[in-house]
Structure 1
Amino acid sequence: MIEDKLAQVFAEAGCQGSVAVLDIDGSGQVVLDGDELVVAASTFKIAVALELFCQGAEGELDLAERVRLAPSQATPGGQGFCIFEDEAEVSLRDLARMMVTISDNTATDVLIRRVSVPRIHARLAALGLDRIRLAGTIQEEFDAIGRDTGFAGWAEMTRAMREAGSPRDADRIWERALSTPSLRPGHITSATAGQMAALLRMIWRDEAGPAAACAAVRSVIGQQRLTRKIATGFGDEVRVAAKSGTVPGCVSNDAGVVHFPDGSRFAVAVFTRPTGPGPQTPQADSVIGTVARLCVEHLRRLGR
């Protein structure tokens, strides 16, 4: 059975995984542990983008509204506005683009505050997707991790890691963080592979909100170039629009849509995590593409 093969592939890569692949224009699906709640990492940003563009399409906000960002407002993330030295002004629409295309955490937190977590949850619940749950802003999540690790917050924890006597000492701090309640599903922003794939299927079918909003979400996801996880399983003739999510040592995820030249389309969510404590294995990223390909090939064979 395809599910047994998927479990074997995950095991050989040294990780555990859940996957859901749905035929967007048909009823075919492949699901392995699709109802398991896992740490979503940045894949949840798809839901934030949907709420923003829905509120824009419904006339509740102006997507061209300008937002001024100061360096002091930045949420850590390694790229994007958090490395700016000067103030920047950008529209809500382009904040969404930054959030999805380079996974900018500052942009994400601005948008979460603008559209609100309750509104995001309400829209998801109306779609039957009540297991995609945000715990708050990314900064709030980071600070909770820092406190659970024994520091005043994220800034103090990361400073301790930078000032550690050796790389191994810094790793020990992060390993402590990985074992805290704040990095467990249900405490941090979480989702299931099944519901994430279902959300993508609805967005691609214009069923997640106004058609203009769904089209806008599809556009920004299609512009994402920061990571290639699902895409590694397919050739250049196959177009992949996806949003990844990574927490080092915790999860490596990807969620997106695979488009074939013949018009067939598949919503894919693959979430992986290590089988035990320690750093994520390199195979955990590459296995996402392998699993996606196996599932899609299976559905395409059934459809012939």
Structure 2
Amino acid sequence: MSYWQMQKLVGLIIFSIFTSSTVFAQSDSLLRAQIKEIAKDAKGAVGFAMLGIENRDTLSYNGQLHLPMQSVMKFPIAITVLHQVDEGMLTLDQLIPIDKSDLPETYSPLRDKFPEGNVSIAIRELLSYMVSLSDNDACDILLKTLGGTAVVDAYMHSFGIKQIAIKASEFQMAQAWDVQFTNWTMPKEMIRLLDIATKPNFLSKTSHDYLWKIMEATITGPNQIKGLLPAGTIVAHKTGRSGTNDGIAAATNDVGIITLPNGKHLAVAVFVTNSAVDLPARESVIARIAKAAYDYEIAK
């Protein structure tokens, strides 16, 4: 190859790289603009972050806002329980005695099944109730078993998830409106936690497999991240939702991992905070943002 041919080849390579970078940058800008437009329909604050688990591409919109988690906090609680299982402090088959005082009136399929308590439930079953069904009483029973919210908070911070605070149980959040805001995170930090939790060496294989099994089995929020995705799309996720106060919903959230048609994975976190619209409208915002992220990722 002559000198001039070599120079031409180098030039073409540089042009190709520059063109590809420009196209991706334009695509990022278009997606961010699309999310910004969708977010207007929430009439509140919307935070979003995404990460391609394999390709490491990231994008966020208000990704550094401190936003209330509500039941999204059950994801880090589950991770902490499974960490203690791996450390030999607990076992998945360990039976936890439950009496009526452990079952205050709240959203709890566990309480519906055992209204009087007087039963012992294995930790694996409590985890399933807490994550897949978003059971509030199961959550607080597991928090008590761990030693309280401070244990979860400290464990998250110990491996670098600093932008998260877990200070109140489900029961405590139910006592006063403002308490829920003490349990917060940032969308970008939740994406980091999702990413870390996908790593096969983060938990033991048994704990890793069980975590993602119960995340995939989540039945809450079918109209949120999953709402507009193709039928059969695998989504391992955790939802979180507050009540309303004077027509304002403090939190409507969904975070999780979407399995793409090519077998790769996309982590997404969508938080809708202090929204003045009804639940179907809030869920539509989450669904449309998740679908936009999904379409963006599979178009690459």
TM-score, normalised with respect to structure 1: 0.80
Count of residues in correspondence between the two structures: 262
- Equivalent residue number for residue 254 of structure 2: 254
Does residue 1:97 correspond to 2:146, yes or no?
Answer: no
- Equivalent residue number for residue 193 of structure 1: 187
**8 A Cα contact 1:75 1:138, kept in partner:** no
Alpha-carbon distance between aligned partners in 2 of 1:107 and 1:250, rounded to the nearest angstrom = 23
- For the residue of structure 2 that corresponds to 1:245, the secondary structure is strand
- Equivalent residue number for residue 133 of structure 1: 165
Instruction: Summarize the Cα distance change of 1:62–1:15 in structure 2 as closer, same or farther, 3 Å threshold.
Output: same
- For the residue of structure 1 that corresponds to 2:165, the secondary structure is coil
Alpha-carbon distance between aligned partners in 2 of 1:280 and 1:64, rounded to the nearest angstrom = 41
Alpha-carbon distance between aligned partners in 1 of 2:236 and 2:185, rounded to the nearest angstrom = 19
Compute the displacement of 1:120 (Å): 1.7
**Cα-to-partner distance string for 1:137-168 (whole Å, 9 max, x where unaligned):** 2212323x0xxxxxxxxxxxxxxxxxxxxxxx
**Cα-to-partner distance string for 1:215-253 (whole Å, 9 max, x where unaligned):** 221111111113211001201142111111000221110
- For the residue of structure 2 that corresponds to 1:232, the secondary structure is coil
Alpha-carbon distance between aligned partners in 1 of 2:265 and 2:251, rounded to the nearest angstrom = 26
List gaps (5 residues or longer) in structure 2. Answer: 1-28, 244-248
**Cα-to-partner distance string for 1:78-124 (whole Å, 9 max, x where unaligned):** 23233333323210111011001111111101111212333322321
**Cα-to-partner distance string for 1:151-210 (whole Å, 9 max, x where unaligned):** xxxxxxxxxxxxxxxxxxxxxxxxxx4xxx434x3xx21111111121111112235433
- Equivalent residue number for residue 215 of structure 1: 209
- Equivalent residue number for residue 159 of structure 1: none
List gaps (5 residues or longer) in structure 1. Answer: 146-176
- Of residues 83, 86, 91, the one that matches 2:116 is 86
1:234 maps to amino acid: L
Does residue 1:239 correspond to 2:270, yes or no?
Answer: no
Alpha-carbon distance between aligned partners in 2 of 1:75 and 1:206, rounded to the nearest angstrom = 37
Instruction: Summarize the Cα distance change of 1:52–1:25 in structure 2 as closer, same or farther, 3 Å threshold.
Output: same
Alpha-carbon distance between aligned partners in 1 of 2:157 and 2:204, rounded to the nearest angstrom = 16
The higher radius of gyration belongs to: 2
- For the residue of structure 1 that corresponds to 2:78, the secondary structure is helix
Alpha-carbon distance between aligned partners in 2 of 1:275 and 1:94, rounded to the nearest angstrom = 34
**8 A Cα contact 1:23 1:266, kept in partner:** yes
Compute the displacement of 1:281 (Å): 4.6
Q: Report sequence identity in percent.
A: 19
Alpha-carbon distance between aligned partners in 1 of 2:66 and 2:85, rounded to the nearest angstrom = 30
2:108 maps to amino acid: Q
Alpha-carbon distance between aligned partners in 1 of 2:66 and 2:179, rounded to the nearest angstrom = 14
**8 A Cα contact 2:260 2:298, kept in partner:** no
- For the residue of structure 2 that corresponds to 1:103, the secondary structure is coil
TM-score, normalised with respect to structure 2: 0.81
Instruction: Summarize the Cα distance change of 1:281–1:80 in structure 2 as closer, same or farther, 3 Å threshold.
Output: closer
Q: How does 1:31-180 map to 2 (within 5 A)?
A: 31-83=60-112, 84-87=114-117, 88-116=119-147, 117-143=149-175, 145=176, 177=177
**8 A Cα contact 1:135 1:189, kept in partner:** yes
Which range moved further: 120-129 or 259-268?
Answer: 120-129
Alpha-carbon distance between aligned partners in 1 of 2:214 and 2:62, rounded to the nearest angstrom = 28
- For the residue of structure 2 that corresponds to 1:282, the secondary structure is helix
Alpha-carbon distance between aligned partners in 2 of 1:44 and 1:240, rounded to the nearest angstrom = 18
Which range moved further: 190-199 or 11-20?
Answer: 11-20
**8 A Cα contact 2:41 2:285, kept in partner:** no
- Equivalent residue number for residue 282 of structure 2: 284
**8 A Cα contact 1:48 1:112, kept in partner:** yes
- Equivalent residue number for residue 171 of structure 1: none
- Equivalent residue number for residue 298 of structure 1: 296
**8 A Cα contact 1:250 1:280, kept in partner:** no
